[in-house]
Amino acid sequence: MASSNPPSPPPGLVALGNCNAATARGPAAVLRSLGTAPSRPPLDVELPAVPEALQGLRRTVRRYLDAPCTDVQLCVTELVTNVIRHVGEATPVRVRVALTDGNRIRVEVMDPAGQALPVPLSGALDAEDGRGLALLDAVALRWGVEQGVDGKTVWCELGIRRT
């Protein structure tokens, strides 16, 4: 004879749909304490890549992080400047800054030129350019490029400095 009652979840687990606000607070607090829940949504800005936009973009990043963030501002500036120089001024870009679940800040700059990949250069001592990716490499924990159907994303991750 088959039972009409659904099986109950094993002890210690909450069945999907049987979770109320009080039940959810415990696991949510644990996840926050482990640093696995971002504390705010990411900053997402779409703009044309022009030199005049860089100062406002740095200011927006600083307001979003609500803390000194010169390394993050440097990375954003260098990545957008690379788009201006190597893809073209006024290219539409999307800049995303997010607090991740490992006490890191992730910066992403997306542009439509999937074929124009960043290449680190060794700038001459008196050169006025060619150091952007070297600076990125120096301040970021890691960085890379993701190619997609609609372009590419150059990203980097930085540690969060606690003061």
Note whether residue 94 is domain-resident. yes
Residue 28 lies in a domain: no
**Residue closest to 143 by CA, chosen among 107, 103, 99:** 107
CATH no. for residue 131?
A: 3.30.565.10
Spatial strand order in the sheet of 91-99: 43-49, 91-99, 104-111, 151-159, 142-148
**Do residues 105 and 97 make contact, with C-beta atoms less than 8 angstroms apart?**
yes
Is the sign of the CA dihedral 31, 33, 35, 41 positive or negative? positive
- List the pLDDT tens digit at each of the 163 positions of the chain: 555 555 554 444 444 444 455 544 544 444 444 444 456 899 999 999 999 999 999 999 999 999 889 999 999 999 999 999 999 999 999 999 999 887 899 999 999 998 887 777 666 666 556 677 888 889 999 999 999 999 999 999 999 865 4
Total domains, the chain: 1
Is residue 98 in a domain? yes
Name the phi and psi angles at 107, rounded to 5: -115, 130
Distance separating alpha carbons of residues 118 and 85, to the nearest angstrom:
11
* Contact (Cβ atoms closer than 8 angstroms) between residue 154 and residue 143: yes
What beta strand segments (E) does 42-149 contain? 43-49, 91-99, 104-111, 142-148
Q: Assess if residue 142 is contained within a domain.
A: yes
Query: In this structure, is residue 129 part of a structural domain?
Result: yes
Q: What is the pLDDT of residue 5?
A: 59
Strand intervals (E) in the chain = 43-49, 91-99, 104-111, 142-148, 151-159
Asked if the structure places residue 6 within a domain, the reply is: no
- Give residue-wise pLDDT tens across range 21-46: 554 454 444 444 444 445 689 999 99
- Report if residue 7 sits inside a domain: no
What domain range is 111 assigned to?
A: 43-159
Q: Give the H/E segment covering residue 28.
A: helix 21-34
* Residue 150 · residue 130 · CB < 8 Å: no
Q: Give me the pLDDT at residue 160, please.
A: 85
**Is pTM beyond 0.85 here?**
no
Q: Looking at the domain assignment, is residue 19 inside a domain?
A: no
Which of 151, 119, 144 has its CA nearest to residue 132?
119
